[in-house]
Amino acid sequence: MGRLLAAARALAAACLGAALLLLGAAPRALRPAFENKALDSSWFGGKRSALQRLYDLDQGPLSALAEVHRQRRDLLRRACSRHTRRQRLLRPEDLRHVLVDDAHGLLYCYVPKVACTNWKRVLLALGGRARGDPRAIPAHEAHAPGRLRSLADFSPAEINRRLRAYLAFLFVREPFERLASAYRSKLARPYSAAFQRRYGARIVRRLRPRPAPDALARGHDVRFAEFLAYLLDPRTRRDEPFNEHWERAHALCHPCRLRYDVVGKFETLAEDAAFVLGLAGAPGLRFPAPPPRAPAAAARDQAARLFRDISPFYQRRLFGLYRMDFLLFNYSAPAYLRLR
C-alpha cells in the first residue's frame, strides 16, 4: 500500500511538472509576448481581460511606456534563451510566490524588498477583501497567511488555465540594492528582533570567533561582511533554502519557465504600477505612494558604503551568486564593485 501511495504521488508530481513544461515549450501561436496565451473573454464574463488589454496595446502604435515594457519582455526572453540551459521541472511549492487575483485575471509574483507589501494591499483591495484606501491595510494583515491565494493552491489543470489566460507580472530591483535593503531592515534595525534571533544568532554562532553571549542569544549586531559570508557559505543553502528576503528574484519567480507579460522595476515603481492597474481595469485605484525617501542615488550610495569594506574576492563571489538577476532583468554591475 505504501509503495502504491508513493507511486501515485510521484505520478501526480510528474503530471504537474509535465504540464508546466509543455506550457514553457509550446509553439508560437501569437506574437512573442503572448505565446501560448489564451485571449478568451468568456472566462471574465465577456469583459476584456488584463491580458487582452495588453495584447490590444501591442497591436498598434505603442506609447512610450508600453514600448518600455515590450522591450523588457523581449530582453527577458532573449536573456533566458542565452543564459539558461536544462532546467528542472517546477513543483507546486515553486509557485507559492505567484499570487492570484481571479476577478481581474492577474498573477503577481512577489519579491520581498520590492514594494511587495503595497502590492499585496492592492490585490486585497482589488479582490474586495479590503475596503477603502489600500494604504489603510496594516502590513501584518497584508502578509497574513491565507489572505491571498497563490498558484500553489490550485490543481495542475487550474494552474495551467490561469497561466494561459491571466496577465502575469512581477517587480524587480537592482540586486545589490535589494540585498542591502534586506540587511538593513531585517538584521541591522532593532525592530526586527525575532528575525535577528532566528538568522542573526545563527550567523554569529557560525561565523564569529569567540562571540559574546548577548550576541549569541540576540543576533542583534550582525555585520554586513558576516551576512555576506553566511550567504556564500555552502552550508547555508544545504541546510535550507535562502530566506525569501535575500533569495534571488529568478529563484522565487522562475521567469524563464513562466511567461511574464509585465516586468516592473522598483526604480520606476509609480509608472509601472499605474500601467499594471490600467491593464487590470482599475485605473482609479492608486498604488500606495511610498514614504518620503531620499532619491534613488541615495540607495546606490548606501549599498556602495556597505560594499566598500568587502574584499574584491568576496565581491566577485557574491556577484556570481546574484549574476542571473543582473542578466535576466538588465541590470549592470554596480560601478563601486571591484570585479577585476
Q: Which amino acid is at 224?
A: F
51-55: list long-range contacts, CB under 8 Å, 24+ apart: 51/105, 51/165, 51/166, 51/167, 51/261, 53/278, 53/279, 53/281, 54/167, 54/261, 54/262, 54/279, 55/30, 55/31
pLDDT digits (tens, 9 = 90+) for 141-171: 999 998 999 999 999 999 999 999 999 999 9
Cell digits of residue 251 = 529563484
Average pLDDT, rounded, for the chain? 86
283 falls in which pLDDT band (50, 70, 90)?
confident
Cell digits of residue 39 = 485571449
Nearest to 106 by CA among 49, 65, 46: 49
Cell digits of residue 117 = 507589501
pLDDT at 322 over 70: yes
Residues 167-182 have a mean pLDDT of 97
Cell digits of residue 278 = 490600467
Helix (H, G, I), strand (E, B) or coil at 172: strand
pLDDT at 36 over 80: no
CA–CA dist 14, 101 (Å, integer): 26
CA–CA dist 241, 260 (Å, integer): 24
Residues 295-320 have a mean pLDDT of 90
CA–CA dist 206, 230 (Å, integer): 8
Strands, E assignment, the chain: 98-101, 106-109, 167-172, 262-265
Q: Which residue has the cell 502590492?
A: 119
Nearest to 13 by CA among 149, 153, 155: 155
Nearest to 266 by CA among 325, 333, 190: 325
Task: State the pLDDT at residue 50.
Answer: 94
Q: Model pTM?
A: 0.87
Higher pLDDT, 46 or 190: 190
CA–CA dist 185, 290 (Å, integer): 16
Residues 62-74 have a mean pLDDT of 94
DSSP result, 194-257: HHIIIIIHHHHHHH-SS--HHHHHH-----HHHHHHHHH-HHHHHHSPPPTTTS-HHHHH-TTT
Cα–chain-centroid distance for residue 161? Answer: 21
Task: State the pLDDT at residue 37.
Answer: 66
